[in-house]
Structure 1
Amino acid sequence: MPHDTQPAGSRARRFVWLAVGIAVFGLAWTAGWHFLADRIESRLPLTLQQLAGQQAKAECANAEIRGYPFRFGLFCDRISYDSARSGLRAEGGALRSAAQFYRPNHIVSELDGPFSFSGQAGEGRIDWRSLQSSVRLTRRGLDRGSLESQNISIDVDSTALSSRLGLRAERLSAHARKNELDADFAVYAEGVQSTLLDQLAFDRLTLEATLPGQATLLDAPLRGPQGAFDVRLHRILVEVDDTTSLEISGPVRIDETRRISGDISVTARNLQDLAELIARLDPQYAEIAGNIAPMLGAFDTVDGDDAITVPLTIRQNAVSIGFIPLGRLPAF
């Protein structure tokens, strides 16, 4: 029977060296983690200034880096943004975020409500039960990001609206990403209710669009499109219920004066109820809804289904079917 001829002292020394190595590695890791955390905290004001842009200020109150030993996370009691150039001011609740040490550019976060904002065009307040986000960053800004919320409420009072807008949704998600030179955006909502009209509700709302050549919109600091720009509407879908819906798709162009031109396809189910709903939503749309409803059946381009699909032409907010004018979209 073989015997272990290795001296007991040799095994003990190996065990001691292993324990010492683990302890040294742990101490080095701890020192390195705290060194990086201190660097992040010290550079945070400069990073926030770069994100905010010129003549603007972003603040993360009582900022602290947490997550030892394997994560780095930024925690704030309150977040705020103030732009002297645009007059926009915004403020939100506590922020909690985290990123794994081996993937520091992928950040998940959670924000407490409410979030309030005000500017030259109006003011608003957004609140929610939960709001979580996931973003992937590059040196230039955002590569892609997603936001998920539950039981969200949005209240906006703006000069661009005919009345104060109030929306409630059981679930709302928004997504943005760079797609080579383009920027892709999507918004999905479920269980939507609006205070614009009594008993106005939608089962689902969907927006999917691409802005060609606008990938730089996601670079820091984030900004809106400048000048004229194109939009590929993959789908704007409003599902009122199981029998009533409206879907819009097609390319459009928005000029410097924010007037819309394009050739789009509109698919409607239960057209009469939709026309009445659109007219109730905004009196400015009543003319178009009233003109379009009686004649759409004659222009249906898709046979054999329970929906009506027609092509619409928009030229600087003037809407028509072929040579038949229908009305004008309101300015925005």
Structure 2
Amino acid sequence: MASSSRAETSGVTRKLVRLAIAVVLFIALYTGAWFYAASWLKDTLGQQLAASAQGMHSVSCSNLSVRGFPFRIGLFCDSVGVDDRPSGLSATVGAIRSAAQVYRPGHGVIEIDGPAQVRVTPDLVFDVDWDLLRASATAWTNGLDRASIAYDGLKGRLNVPSEAVSIGIAATHGEKHIRQSGEALDIAASFDALSLDLGDRVLPPLDVAADLTIADAARWISAEGPPADVPLGASVELRRLSLDLGDGKVATLSGPLKVGDDGYLSGTLDLDIAGITVWRDRVSEAFPEVAETTAHVAQVIQGLSAGGDRAVVKLNVQDGTVYLGLFPIAFIPPF
């Protein structure tokens, strides 16, 4: 019995030793593979970035490194710059930190520090900063499947001196989402407490949300890429575009739209507006030059609602001109 017991113990010990050796070998091989992949990735990207500096489209990444061992792998840069010489566009942002799970390389997350600056010749400059900005994306060899971005404490200003344009923008929180949905492309965006500074006037903050689908546009974010004339010819289903002043004073647009080959929008929209008098007063205060037109439009809408302060009316959009009944009330510039 003693001899049998010792034999069983010896067999168990050998199995444990073999298991331990296998675990050690796996860890060693995995560690070697991770660091080899990280080194290859850093060298390859470094060569591509260096080569781009000699071309018409360059990207720079200061102090490039690859981190995340053992279960993640990601790129880190102290700052990033982009220079597209043919279009005259250049941009810089702060530090970038990215990561993807080793077992799920097609899904990545990224965190970007401000401030950022975008410049377009001859004199367009957009300066922007934020408290926190995070993004995520799911992609594979056929292109991007979906992507999201969220930020807090956004503040920026667009300056175009040649056009006498100076617009400030601020939002406490914002999100944007995009995804392929069969052959279509779904897009959603929102801004909390969005405010605009137009220089000579500051618009009161409001919450903005949009949700729409563009037919046959999934390829825009695929490896194929968007057509050169995007978005001309696009068919859009605007499920919801809402502007919220608070206290239930919400205006919502929904309906189908078409972007013509000339860039002008056409379609039919349903406007659901609550707090007609409040909207009239806010628009008149912000844009006194259109106060008379605003008062007339509010009067027509109230007439359609039997004098109430909420109405649902139909708007027709023809080649960029928005009609309420027979009256043109707004113009949408071409894309």
State the TM bucket, normalised to the shorter chain: 0.7 to 0.9
Does 1:240 pair with 2:245?
yes
In structure 2, the partner of 1:82 is 83
CA distance in 2, matches of 1:233, 1:160: 34
CA distance in 1, matches of 2:57, 2:292: 43
- Once superposed, which parts of structure 1, at least 4 consecutive aligned residues long, lie more than 6 Å away? 46-49, 159-162
- Match of 1:29, SS? helix
Letter in 2 for 1:148: A
User: What is aligned with 1:298?
Assistant: 303
Amino acid across the alignment from 1:293 = A
Alignment-derived partner of residue 69 in structure 1: 70
Classify 1:175/1:282 alpha carbon distance in 2 versus 1 (closer, same or farther; 3 Å).
Answer: farther
1:216 is aligned to: 219
Distance 1:104 1:47 in 2: 20
Q: Give the deviation of 1:62 after TM superposition.
A: 2.3
- Match status 1:194 vs 2:199: no
Tell me, in whole angstroms, the C-alpha distance in 1 between the residues paired with 2:59 and 2:224: 11
Distance 1:89 1:273, change over 3 A: same
Residue in structure 1 matched with residue 41 of structure 2 by the alignment: 40
Q: Distance in 2 between matches of 1:279 and 1:68?
A: 58
Q: Note the C-alpha offset of 1:150.
A: 1.2
TM-score (norm. length: structure 2): 0.85
Q: Write the distance in 2 (CA, Å) between the matches of 1:205 and 1:161.
A: 27
2:222 & 2:183 partners in 1: Cα distance?
12
Evaluate the alpha carbon distance shift between residue 288 and residue 258 of structure 1 in structure 2; reply closer, same or farther with a 3 A threshold.
farther
1:125 corresponds to which residue?
Answer: 127
Match in the other structure for 1:166? 168
- Which whole-Å CA distance do the structure 2 matches of 1:72 and 1:6 have between them? 46
How far did 1:210 drift? 1.3
Note closer, same or farther for the CA distance 1:109–1:45 as it changes in structure 2 (3 Å cut).
same
Distance across 2 between alignment mates of 1:218 and 1:166? 30
CA apart distance, 1:257: 3.7
Match for 1:231: what amino acid?
V
Residues 147 and 76 of structure 1: CA distance in aligned 2, closer, same or farther (over 3 Å): same
The secondary structure found in structure 1 opposite 2:142 is: coil
* Deviations 1:145-179, CA, capped at 9 Å, x for gaps: 11111111132235898742212111111111111
1-side partners of 2:213 and 2:30: how far apart?
44
d(CA) in 2 for partners of 1:331 and 1:124? 22
User: 1:281: how far off?
Assistant: 4.3
Range moving further from structure 2, 232-241 or 268-277:
268-277
One of 266, 273, 279 as aligned partner of 2:278: 273
Structure 2 counterpart of 1:72, which letter? Answer: I
In the alignment, what sits opposite 1:254? 259
> What CA deviation, in whole Å up to 9, does each residue of 1:219-264 have, x standing for no partner?
3596682433222211111101113221111112223443221111
Does 2:16 align with 1:18?
no
- Higher alpha-carbon deviation: 304-313 or 78-87: 304-313
**1:323 counterpart = 2:326:** yes
Question: Do the aligned residues in 2 keep the contact of 1:122 with 1:156 (CA within 8 Å)?
Answer: yes
The one-letter code matched in structure 2 to 1:35 is Y
Partner secondary structure for residue 169 of structure 2: strand
CA RMSD of aligned residues (A): 3.3
C-alpha contact 1:156 1:165 (8 A) present in aligned 2: yes
Please state how far the C-alpha of 1:26 moved relative to its aligned partner: 1.3
Alpha-carbon distance in structure 1 between the residues aligned to 2:242 and 2:118:
28
* Residue 151 of structure 2: aligned partner: 149
Whether contact under 8 Å (1:108, 1:134) holds in the other structure is yes
Report the secondary structure of 2:141's partner residue: coil
Give me the whole-angstrom Cα distance separating, in 1, the residues matched to 2:162 and 2:270.
Answer: 26
The SS at the match of 2:105 is coil
Q: Residue 242 of structure 2 contacts residue 250 of structure 2 at CA under 8 Å; is this kept in 1?
A: yes
Within 1, Cα distance between the matches of 2:334 and 2:287?
13
Whether 1:311 aligns to 2:305 is no
Identity across aligned pairs (percent)? Answer: 26
Unaligned runs of 5+ residues in structure 1 are none
How many angstroms apart in 2 are the aligned matches of 1:329 and 1:226?
Answer: 15
8 A Cα contact 2:277 2:309, kept in partner: no
**Alignment partner of 1:205 is 2:211:** no
1:65 alignment partner, SS class: strand
Q: Say which SS state the counterpart of residue 293 (structure 1) adopts.
A: helix
